Amino acid sequence: MSFTLAIVGRPNVGKSTLFNRLVGKRLALVDDQPGVTRDLREGAARLGDLRFTVIDTAGLEEVTDDSLQGRMRRLTERAVDMADICLFMVDARTGITPTDQVFAEILRRRAKHVIVAANKAEGRAGEDGALEAYSLGLGEPLRLSAEHGEGLGDLLHVLMPLADAFEDRAVAEAPETDVTITEEEAEDGAGEMRWPTPDRPMQIAVVGRPNAGKSTLINTLLGEDRLLTGPEAGITRDAISLAMDWDGLPVRIWDTAGMRKKARVQEKLEKLSVGDGLRAVKFAEVVIVLLDAAIPFEQQDLRIADLAEREGRAVVVAVNKWDIEDDKQDKLRALREAFERLLPQLRGAPLVTVSAKTGKGLDRLRDAVEQAYTVWNARVPTAALNRWLAGMVEAHPPPAPQGRRIKLRYMTQAKTRPPGFVVMCSHPDKMPDSYARYLVNGLREGFDMPGTPIRLFMRGQG
């Protein structure tokens, strides 16, 4: 696969600005106040023809006590270890500081390959600072202006030969587009089931209201404090993603900003964060909707679950903080009832009770995720489908609007992820929703496809 580039440097040198530019989405938030970006954040970067993974790191600080600073430093060291190439960013305008020196030392010891970039060097500004950066002893500094997009061509030139060394000039992945179904595509065997691999991990988004326990869940899964939780407000402001092996399942988990959080967050940041949450749903294959057992199925939860369904994602509902529920039996019954009533479009989707804090139930959550993903990828052979269709029609014939009976001729599965079916019939525009629902629910039961969104396309000529 292609390589991983970590952008490291002390706070405020412009790391997030460069990250944004490379990722091309507003995934990272930029703020004048130092230390806004405290977590590792990964994105799919693109520069010229190069495709690679970029990691944005916490500000490097020389403080080593166990404060937040200390933890940030450890996170950064981890990023350095994860990266094939480190882009060490300094501020050309301020010149080299003692902090820069300290981290130059870390990079010298730890990094596989370092590129020094003197940022904020737009125009002729910062020429001295850029020269000073030679003194770091890490090679020729690149002059960069992340904000104005200057020097990116030079960066590309430096990266190219390195990228070659990491082989694979990663082919741009074709973005998943909406399906237009032709009959050829509707043939069986169009697209094999892709089981996730470490190179192509299952994309999971964890979404839910602030304080539902998203960060805690991911921390517990990771078994290490790569994501920061704790009393500091507003720590997780971005959607960030982390790849991991979940008991044999290669996954990439997107943590979304606690929507609507937290004390110090300005409105600008807040809006972006909610957008990031929604964007994570778009990236995801499986969406874990995390509810707080004490306040389940609130308006916001329903909206996000519905969004996930409409976006065609596999959905798993996880009810968190189950450790503090007393009357578990009654509560579970009530939850299932509420789920059926409030989210009929997700009928049969898994509902799992968990404790993110203690880790209880997380093995069941993993199995539910795998199951939902499997169903989402399900493919039904055409012959079986048409035998089934004949039975459905016999049991309950389609209506005859204005005396003209709708004839269902033939059916085939045109796509997966989520499953989509084409029904060839007469008067497709007259097909009532109730009959379409009858077919969808029948498909769920007949072919064991609970929970997953199912798409039905009516086609006239057939």
Give binding residues for GTP as ranges.
9-16, 56-60, 119-122, 208-215, 255-259, 320-323
Between 214 and 415, name the residue whose CB sits nearer to ligand GDP: 214
CA distance 318 to 397: 38
Q: Report the nearest approach of ligand GDP to the CB of residue 393 (Å).
A: 47
Q: How far apart are CA 336 and CA 392, in angstroms?
A: 28
Could you list the residues that contact ligand GDP (CB under 6 A)?
Answer: 9, 11-17, 30-32, 37, 59, 119-120, 122, 145-148, 208, 210-216, 229, 236, 258, 320-321, 323-324, 355-357
**Cβ of residue 126: shortest distance to ligand GDP, in angstroms?**
8
For residue 143, the surrounding DSSP H or E stretch is strand 142-143
Buried b (16+ CB within 10 A) or exposed e, 117-143: bbbbbbeeebeebbebbeebebeebbb
Nearer to ligand GDP, 142 or 424 (CB): 142
Of 230 and 399, which CB lies nearer to ligand GDP in the complex structure?
A: 230
| Minimum gap (Å) between residue 13 Cβ and ligand GDP | 4
DSSP label at residue 419: T
- CA 273/CA 259 separation, integer angstroms: 7
- Phi-psi group of 74: left, alpha or beta (phi > 0 → left; psi -120 to 50 → alpha; rest → beta): alpha
Residue 23: DSSP 8-state: H
CB of 252 to ligand GDP, least distance (A): 18
DSSP string, 379-393: ---HHHHHHHHHHHH
Residue with smaller CB distance to ligand GDP, 175 or 231:
231
Q: For residues 4 and 52, is the Cβ–Cβ distance under 8 A?
A: yes
Shortest separation between residue 273's beta carbon and ligand GDP, angstroms:
11
Nearest CB to ligand GDP, comparing residues 235 and 414: 235
The residue among 15 and 252 lying less far from ligand GDP, judged by its C-beta, is 15
Evaluate whether 207 touches 214 at the Cβ level (below 8 Å): yes
Q: Which residues are annotated as a binding site?
A: 9-16, 56-60, 119-122, 208-215, 255-259, 320-323
Amino acid type, 22: L
Is 40:204 a contact under the CB 8 Å cutoff?
A: no
